[in-house]
Structures are given as C-alpha cells and as structure tokens.
Amino acid sequence: MEHFTLNNGTKIPLVGLGTFQMNPDEAEYAVVTALKKGYSLIDTANAYMNEKAVGRGMKKSGIEREHIYLSTKLWPSVYAGAAQAIDETLRRLDTDYIDLLFLHQPVGDYISAYKSMEEAVRNGKVKSLGLSNFSEEQIRKLVEKTEIKPAVVQVEAHPYYPETELREFLNQYGTVIMAWFPLGHGDPALLEEHMIAEMAEKYGKSIAQIILRWHTQMGNIVIPGSKNETHIAENMDLFDFTLTEAELQEISDLNKNLRYYVATEEMLQGYLAFAPDFESQP
C-alpha cells in the first residue's frame, strides 16, 4: 500500500475502507475483511453509529493497533462538549488514540470544537486533525483562528466533480483531500463512460479501479465503502499500473460540476439539532 506524508509528518495510506451506511454487523465484517486483506486505513464517524463495531472489527482482525490507521468524525451535536466527546469516541472505538479526527459538518461552534481537538493532539489522544464538508471560506476562517493546520479535508470528489480548485487552495497548507463518493455515488453514467472502459481494458482493470487510480495519482486519498469481499480486495489493487498524464487529463475533463450531495443551511441546522445517543449502538 502506498502512503502520503501529511503536513505534520505522519503517513496515511492512499486507500482505505469507508463504513458510511453500514450497520454494525456489516461494519465489523468489512473491517475484519479489509484489515486481513492488507488495508490499514479505516474511516468511520459518530453519526454512522458503528464505531463500537469498528472497534470490535479491529480487535477481531488480529492486526496490531499500530498497523491500523483509524479516522473518525465528531458530529455537530457534540461540538459544545468536544473534549468529553473525544473521550467517549475513544471508548466506543476501544482504542487509546485516533489517527485522524474530523469535524463532520461546518455548523455550530466548530472553531471551539477544533480547539478542543488541538488539545487532544497535545494530550496524545489524536494524531492528526481534519475537516469534512468544509468550503474554502470556512477552512480559511478556521485556519486563521486555530494553531494546527488541518492535515486532511474530506469532501465529495470524483471525475464529475474533481475539486481541482479546492486542491489548489489547500496546497498552501499542505492539506490533502480524502474523497468520499470517489466513484460518483455509483452513478451508472460515470461507471459506463466509454473512455474509462477503454482504459480498463488496456490495463486489465475494472472501471472502478481506473477511477480510484486516477484519484490517487491526482493526490487524493480514497475511502470506497464496500461490504463485498471481492470488491474490498479490488479497491486496493491499484498500484501495479500507472495512468499516463494524458489519461489523467482525459478523466479530469469529464468534470460536469455535478455534486450528488449539497448541504443547504436548513440541512446544516438540522444536523446541529440531530443528537442521537451514540452510546446506544450495539
């Protein structure tokens, strides 16, 4: 597995397992399967309601904690008590530290929450910090008022929405993109693009593998989610071929400025009000 070196000197795998929309049983199985197949990056979140299952999967895999890269996210409803929320997140995951901790949504007092995350870094509870679904303006505001620059920004990114401008903006901070919906939310139009299919045939890979390789060569970390053992294995089998510069550009030129998820202000306020009992998860 190839790695990026983040702006704080730590290393992160280019490919990981996303656990969004997995119930606890599915998440536990996927984590065990992925780790045994050579993954080390596992991504979850308070709001996925599967952190306890992810923790069980890590233990059940038999892989030592130091060889696992764990990322999770604080939900807006806990921003006001972020210090306590971090401790509770650690307990749910049954671990002493989190490799990468994100703010999940840009709503509420996220500056104060981020400062609590900075304190967790100083206390050794967290290694690196990140932001999820933040815009350039929101990132700039946060960086101006905090000390530790975010190492990773997690956003929707795929050939139909490549986030080129955001990537260029983040270069000044040494911050990298982690792409969710890296395959365009499974959009058949993207997964049936003739030009990508021709590349897949040329390299003896699937269309999904071509798209994921495009991401990693463009500088993105990817966290495709899968509960299928074959797909989990295929999603990390990306590093025995290299797309040409022309091929990378061809895929980038598919940009349609098409996002599958757009958070309105009303949605964000709903996130802030949504306060599930994270401890109730099995």
pLDDT at 162 over 90: yes
Instruction: Mention every residue, 6+ apart, whose C-beta is less than 8 A from residue 100.
Output: 12, 69, 70, 71, 72, 126, 127, 128, 129, 130, 151, 152
Q: Whole-angstrom Cα distance, residue 100 to residue 69? A: 8
Rounded mean pLDDT, 254-264? 96
Rounded mean pLDDT, 49-72? 99
pTM of the model: 0.96
pLDDT at 1 over 90: no
Quote the distance between the C-alpha of residue 114 and its chain's center: 18
Question: How deeply is 230 buried, as exposed, middle or buried, from its count of CB atoms within 10 A (0-12, 13-18, 19+)?
Answer: exposed
- Residue 106 is given by DSSP the state S
Tokens of 262: 């757009």
Domain coordinates in residue numbering, the chain? 12-273
Average pLDDT over the chain reads 98
The per-residue pLDDT for range 175-232, each reduced to its tens digit, is 999 999 999 999 999 999 999 999 999 999 999 999 999 999 999 999 999 999 999 9
Q: What is the pLDDT of residue 179?
A: 98
Q: Phi then psi for 180, rounded to 5 degrees? A: -100, 160
> Which of 261, 251, 260 minimizes the C-alpha distance to 162?
251
Q: Whole-angstrom Cα distance, residue 30 to residue 196? A: 27
Superfamily of domain 12-273: NADP-dependent oxidoreductase domain (3.20.20.100)
Q: What type of residue sits at position 206?
A: S
Choose the catalytic residue: 29, 39, 48, 260: 48
The per-residue pLDDT for range 25-41, each reduced to its tens digit, is 999 999 999 999 999 99
Rounded mean pLDDT, 148-172? 98
pLDDT at 9 over 90: yes
Any catalytic annotation for residue 48?
Answer: yes
Instruction: Mention every residue, 6+ apart, whose C-beta is less than 8 A from residue 198.
Output: none
